Structure 1
């Protein structure tokens, strides 16, 4: 009985570690009212300076435009793919463009970043 209890606990621990990464494996974003959002309902954006699957938004830029971080072990699915940032962390991209949210979007549905400096846009899904 003790052997089975220990095995069950080990199985639960493995599931607890694996499930967060699996939750975003298929689609790290959702569609809401025709726009792409993160799982909190916040609008998602791309940056025109990003090229070749590489994020050019680091440092102060990343504070204003938080990258949509991908969990360790995230797998590509369709047009969604994790990319490696300069700091070594993983970030979600869509169709090769890294994805971000915007600090000035205060609540789900805000789109204050759309067209910001003619360089930030909501991706078309």
Structure 2
């Protein structure tokens, strides 16, 4: 293999590895975003359909996806009513909670008896 091609492949490998990473991690048995903040699901949501818009989405910010994001294992991006994209895990849209201030916070779990920590 020519040296240039080998160097090009070595440079491309980290980018390909990052492209295949899930949009979340698992910490203490629940899903967290890339910064370690807890993620939640909303009982009223349908399969890759968010019912949380406007004021709700300000309190429960969606885990956003890029418009060109591709499904990965149990994760799938979907279009929201406002045209933005959000990640879903096993069909359930994922959200953060605006009142969570640190990665240790899980204050949204059980809110309104409709919000749950997202679990794998």
Pick the TM interval, shorter chain: 0.7 to 0.9
| CA offsets 1:21-51 (integer angstroms, 9 cap, x no match) | x846530000112221001110000000101
TM-fit CA distance, 1:52: 2.5
SS at match of 2:58: helix
Q: Take 1:116 and 1:59, find their aligned partners in 2: how far apart are those partners?
A: 18
Q: What do you get for the CA RMSD once the two structures are aligned?
A: 1.8
Could you tell me which runs of 5 or more consecutive residues in structure 1 were left unpaired when the two chains were aligned.
1-14
1:53–1:96: 8 Å Cα contact kept in structure 2? yes
Unaligned residue ranges in structure 2 (runs of 5+) = 1-11
Deviation string, structure 1 residues 46-79 (Cα, Å, up to 9, x no partner):
0001012100000000000000000121100111
> Is 2:87 aligned against 1:92?
yes
Aligned match for 2:71, one of 58, 67, 76? 76
Matches within 5 A, 1:13-24: 23=18
Determine the C-alpha separation between the residues in 2 that align with 1:84 and 1:29: 18
More strand by share: 2
